[in-house]
């Protein structure tokens, strides 16, 4: 059993904890938190040992009547691997703690790539993370693009990717984020950071990305154009992508016309927190056109920012501990989380 410590029990941390608990070969050793909020209560209710992440905030837990199992350094020492799911920038500060205890750690996409030896997407470069000490599970958008690019590259070759990312302004609970009534080129300069981030997974990929932010909390939407090296028809590409376990090709007759309907669908299907771990890609949007530089492929996909990185974290745990190869890990993760819609 791999003992997994989770430092930061917020949007990503609590989802990773739940996914780890579903796996037959790992268990949550404990979770570390800074505040005795409702998520701390949830951890305790779920029977997870709770550790205080910041020394001078330990009193707050006592005042709130929440019992701590210890401080975060004990959790790190007692874990085989730590998933750092703290806010952007804090992970890099925590690296020293993991080094002190010689505990391998996973960081999240909000950290700079330099924080880790490998930027990770299970479908694309699992092998590079095997036995690595520090791995960064790339962001939600980079995960979504990497899952798409990996099979296309293998099957057809990719000359160039151009993607426009219409991004949610904030997660549902982030009441301070915006815009409230605006549409922002974000950043207004090109490329957005997403293209370079995808290149941390595929260093030789030619990719340009543009970003916008809109008043939405549900999901991101990608409008993607990929120039393929060899010819392909739309039905062939659709079949290829439908064969990917972490891509859900939305059939034409479902009436799912956007992110709202997708979230409703996930809730109706009993998905925890209404999570959509898969890229949700509209089958009807898959279009190909022969051009001078290759075959141009166009499509739309929606990415659930709060959850698509969760199965990737589970696989990264197996990679750094050398517990399984890519195929075995992804199959185990998917089966036990209930991947597939």
Q: Total number of residues binding ligand NAD (CB under 6 A)? A: 29
Q: Is 90 in the site for ligand NAD (CB under 6 A)?
A: yes
- Residue of 90, 86, 94 whose CA lies nearest to 134: 94
Rounded least distance, CB 97 to ligand NAD, Å = 9
Active-site option among 50, 140, 221, 241 = 140
How far are the Cα atoms of 6, 88, 132, 274 from residue 93, in angstroms, in the given order? 15, 10, 19, 32
Q: At 35, phi and psi to the nearest 5?
A: -125, 145
Q: Is 88 in the site for ligand NAD (CB under 6 A)?
A: yes
Count Cβ atoms within 10 A of the Cβ of residue 261 and give its class: 0-12 exposed, 13-18 middle, 19 or more buried. middle
Which residues contact residue 147 at a Cβ distance below 8 angstroms, ignoring those fewer than 6 apart? 121, 123, 124, 244, 246, 247, 279
Query: Distance of CA 117 to CAs 106, 114, 135, 269, Å?
Result: 10, 7, 6, 38
Tell me whether residue 222 or residue 238 sits nearer to ligand NAD (CB atom).
Answer: 222
User: Any contact of residue 277 with ligand NAD (CB under 6 A)?
Assistant: no
Q: 68 vs 309, which CB is nearer to ligand NAD? A: 309
* DSSP states along 196-217: HHHHTTSTT--EEEEEEEES--
Q: How many Cα atoms within 13 Å fall on the side-chain side of residue 280?
A: 28
Asked whether position 1 contacts ligand NAD by CB under 6 A, the answer is: no
Asked if residue 8 binds ligand NAD (CB under 6 A), the reply is yes
Q: How far is the CB of 194 from ligand NAD (least distance, A)?
A: 12
Binding mask 297-316 for ligand NAD (x = CB under 6 A): --------xx--x-------
> CA 98 to CA 103: how far, in whole Å?
5
Active site residue 140: yes
- Interface of this chain with ligand NAD, residues 27 to 66, rule: CB under 6 A: 32-35, 39, 53-54
Window contacting ligand NAD (CB under 6 A); options: 102-110, 238-246, 285-293, 318-326:
102-110
279 sits near ligand NAD (criterion: CB under 6 A): no
What residue ranges bind ligand NAD (CB under 6 A)?
Answer: 7-13, 32-35, 39, 53-54, 85-88, 90, 108-111, 139-140, 171, 305-306, 309
Which residues form the catalytic set? 140
């Amino acid at each position: 059993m791999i003992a997994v410590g989770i430092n930061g029990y917020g949007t990503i941390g609590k989802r990773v904890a739940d996914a780890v608990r579903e796996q037959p070969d790992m268990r949550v050793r404990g979770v570390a938190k800074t505040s005795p909020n409702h998520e701390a209560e949830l951890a305790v209710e779920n029977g997870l040992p709770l550790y205080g992440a910041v020394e001078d905030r330990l009193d707050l837990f006592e005042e709130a009547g929440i019992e701590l199992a210890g401080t975060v350094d004990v959790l790190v020492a007692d874990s085989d691997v730590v998933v750092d799911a703290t806010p952007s920038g804090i992970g890099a500060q925590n690296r020293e703690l993991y080094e002190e205890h010689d505990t391998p750690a996973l960081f999240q996409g909000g950290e700079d790539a330099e924080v880790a030896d490998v930027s990770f997407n299970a479908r694309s470069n699992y092998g590079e993370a095997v036995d690595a000490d520090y791995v960064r599970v790339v962001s939600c958008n980079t995960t979504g693009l990497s899952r798409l690019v990996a099979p296309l590259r293998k099957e057809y070759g990719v000359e160039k990717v151009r993607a426009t990312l219409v991004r949610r302004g904030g997660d549902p609970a982030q009441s301070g984020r915006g815009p409230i009534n605006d549409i922002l080129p974000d950043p207004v300069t090109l490329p957005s950071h997403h293209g370079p981030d995808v290149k941390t997974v595929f260093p030789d990929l030619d990719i340009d990305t543009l970003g916008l932010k809109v008043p939405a909390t549900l999901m991101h939407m990608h409008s993607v154009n990929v120039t393929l090296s060899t010819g392909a028809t739309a039905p062939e590409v659709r079949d290829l992508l439908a064969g990917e376990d972490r891509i859900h090709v939305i059939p034409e007759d479902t009436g799912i016309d956007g992110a709202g309907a997708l979230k409703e669908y996930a809730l109706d299907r009993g998905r925890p927190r209404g999570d959509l771990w898969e890229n949700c890609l509209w089958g009807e949007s898959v279009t190909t056109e022969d051009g001078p530089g290759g075959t141009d492929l166009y499509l739309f996909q929606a990415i659930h920012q709060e959850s698509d990185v969760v199965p990737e974290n589970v696989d990264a745990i197996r990679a750094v501990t050398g517990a399984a190869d890519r195929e075995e890990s992804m199959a185990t993760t998917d089966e036990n989380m209930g991947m597939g819609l």
